[in-house]
Amino acid sequence: MTSTATETPVAQLLHHLAGEANGPLATVRRLVEHTAHRLADRPDPHDRDAGQRLEWAARRLYGLQQDLDAAANTLHGASLPSPATAHVPAGPPALSAHRLR
Q: Give the model's pLDDT for residue 53.
A: 96
Q: What pTM did the predictor assign? A: 0.68
Burial letters 49-65, b for 16+ CB under 10 A, else e: bbbbbbbbbbbebbeeb
Q: Give the model's pLDDT for residue 7.
A: 79
Count the neighbouring beta carbons within 10 Å of the beta carbon of residue 71.
Answer: 15
Q: Are 1 and 62 in contact (CB under 8 A)?
A: no
Low-confidence ranges of the chain (pLDDT < 50): 1, 79-80, 95, 97-101
Q: Give the model's pLDDT for residue 5.
A: 58
